[in-house]
Amino acid sequence: MDEPEIAPGPFLEAAEARLLETSTDANRADWVYQTHITEDTEQLSARALARLIAETTDLARRSTHFRSEDLSPVESRKFRLLRLSLPLVAPGDPHDSEELTRRTIAMSSTFARGRYAPHGTSDPLDLQALSRILEENRNPTVLEDVWTGWHRIGRAIRPDFQRYVELANRGARELGFSDLGAMWRSKYDMPPDEFARETDRLWKDVEPLYRSLHAYVRRRLREAYGPDRVPDKEPIPAYLLGNMWAQSWEAILPWLARDLGEPTYDLTQLLRDHHVSPAEIVRFGERFFVSIGFDPLPTTFWTRSMFTRPAGRDVVCHASAWDVDFDDDLRLKMCLEITGEDFMVVHHELGHNYYQRAYRRQPFLFRESAHDGFHEAVGDTIALSITPEYLREIGLLSESPESGGDIALLLRRALEKVAFLPFGLVVDEWRWRVFSGEVGPAEYNRSWWEMREARQGVAPPPGRDEVEFDAGAKYHVPANVPYMRYFLAHILQFQFHQALVRAAGLSGPLHRSSIYGSAAAGARLRAMLEMGESREWPDALETLTGSRRMDAGPLLEYFAPLRRWLDEQNRGTTLGW
């Protein structure tokens, strides 16, 4: 092994300075591309990303020259995080590196430009408009057509994806990982195989609740659409669940809860009745964080963010929070609509922004969350405090409804949170098998649906052969975004919420408890956020919750009243598929 050119400390100091500069440049170029998609902005973003990947890969390779016995614990952690700092590592060959970047950008562009004109219409619709049809229409023929139409986008993405797998694996192996999936799993302060067992443990804890929810939903859909379309003891047709990927089912709540009477409130209608603008929705989110002791967002956040879809140009509407300069240039990018869902999304995305701001004083390589599930969980934790009591305090509800309507509220949240859990597993479990070679290109689509049926109990329309690439119709697959973070976040957010509710001194049920206005809860949260990635994630988890283990128990406690109700509803009903 070659001797390192300089000592570890100076090497890391120079590396962090280089990465800060190139990462900021890549962020700026990507912001322009995602908010104004043209061939020119695509090329500028691709070049900036290529430079970042090349710089990071070069530093990561050089870092392997240092002997572990010569490193302090902080230096050792920084070197490990340096090798894992990007979800994509370029191969050493310049031509392969350029091709990997080009194909990755091309997949994202294909997805962003996706359109489909539903049967009997002439105007092609984007994903947002097609998703609205799935949410609001109840004609199964229309739903199947819209679902199938959008999923055709995978056909164009498939060739780039197949080559991306080859090149991305090559880069990961050059850094010492068996494949890209093993590299992704190595980010969790434990061996890759142990992490896979950890996610399976968490799933087994929550699977009985999911199966109970699934059985109830299937029965009600069978009553609505008939046994020919929704057979008993079979997977649910994915296109009937109100979401393009059947990852959350809250849009079909009106069909499911007819026997629960009128909902206690409709957040979308409350926002519209109060004439709330998109910017004001973001202000509500900011005021939540201020109420628990955080500073207001910087002025530049309000002048540089994109809250709504601009007219006359293509943009990436997928909601995201940005920390452009890794300091205080925070931004929000989304095509916000006046809906209860987007009200929740804003609180979630601002959780990212406030996390980013909290750890900005850490060294550059520690300016991240304890693990990526923490980043996703923080904003969702805040969204769990969007209770009737919170809505009353901020003036959207005149009075809190009685607890007799809690089953409807819990069912809505379960259709969002619990329904998501197996999907959150499958996206990366499928990619892990693709990256490892267990699943080859000739079986991409078949394996995708076999895994989704096994975990989720959902099925596609007939005829989904290997011409299709249905995994590519989900943003995170063509965008090379690891997805296990969302599964972990759906567990952690309830664990965080329980700890913050207790810090706030609240004694009511978890599903009715809001930490809005609690400085004590805010202080507990801030202590964890400021740690960034400077310590292993069990240390950060312990700082907030007192526990060093991810735990599904708080989620089960949160939904306990609903589970009892579901079990009653499912009496005599077959569970499973």
Q: Could you give the number of structural domains in the chain?
A: 1
In 90-180, where do the E strands start and end? Answer: none
Residue 458 has pLDDT above 70, yes or no: yes
Residue scoring higher pLDDT (54 or 544): 544
Would you say 236 and 230 are in contact if contact means Cβ atoms under 8 Å apart? yes
Please state whether beta strands 320-323 and 330-333 pair in parallel, antiparallel, or not at all (unpaired).
Answer: antiparallel
Q: How far lies 243's CA from each of 45, 240, 246, 258, 448, in Å?
A: 30, 8, 5, 20, 17
The pLDDT of residue 551 is: 98
Q: How confident is the model at residue 404 (pLDDT cuts 50, 70, 90)?
A: low
Tell me, rounded to whole angstroms, the distance of Cα 519 from its chain centroid. Answer: 28
* Phi, then psi, of 338 in degrees rounded to 5: -85, 80
pLDDT of amino acid 320: 94
Answer whether residue 208 is part of any domain: no
pLDDT value, residue 70? 87
In the predicted model, is pLDDT for residue 341 greater than 80? yes
Residue 4 pLDDT: 60
**pLDDT at residue 406, as a whole number:** 87
Chain-centroid distance of CA 415 in Å reads 16
Within a domain: 144: yes
Q: Rounded mean pLDDT of 104-133? A: 94
In whole angstroms, give the CA distance from residue 240 to residue 408: 20
pLDDT of residue 464: 95
Residue 147 lies in a domain: yes
Task: Please determine, for residue 263, whether its predicted confidence score (pLDDT) is greater than 60.
Answer: no
Residue 142 within a domain: yes
Is 136 within the bounds of a domain? yes
Mean pLDDT, rounded, for 39-45: 92
Place of tokens 């998609």: 37
For strand 236-237 and strand 458-459, is the pairing parallel, antiparallel, or unpaired? parallel
pLDDT(3) > 60: no
pLDDT tens-digit map of 522-532:
999 999 999 99
Reported as a pLDDT band with limits 50, 70 and 90, residue 2 is low
Distance CA 99, CA 86 (A): 17
369 falls in which pLDDT band (50, 70, 90)?
very high
pTM to 2 decimal places = 0.92
Domain around 135: 117-151
In a domain, 464, yes or no: no
Please give the structure tokens belonging to residue 287: 């005021």
Q: pLDDT of 473-493, one tens digit each?
A: 999 999 999 999 999 999 999
- Which three-class secondary structure state does DSSP give residue 322? strand
Write out pLDDT tens, residues 208-262.
999 999 999 999 999 999 999 999 999 999 999 999 999 999 999 987 876 665 5
pLDDT value at residue 261: 56
What integer is the mean pLDDT of 564-572?
A: 94
Residue 414 pLDDT > 90? yes
pLDDT tens sequence across 497-515 = 999 999 999 998 999 999 9
Q: Which of 177, 173, 202 is nearest to 187 (CA)?
A: 177
Alpha helices for 328-405 (secondary structure H): 340-358, 372-383, 388-393
What is the C-alpha to C-alpha distance for residues 577 and 480, in angstroms, rounded to an integer?
Answer: 31
pLDDT in tens, 342-366: 999 999 999 999 999 999 999 999 9
Worst-scoring range by mean pLDDT, 50-54, 255-259, 558-562? 255-259
pLDDT of residue 218: 96
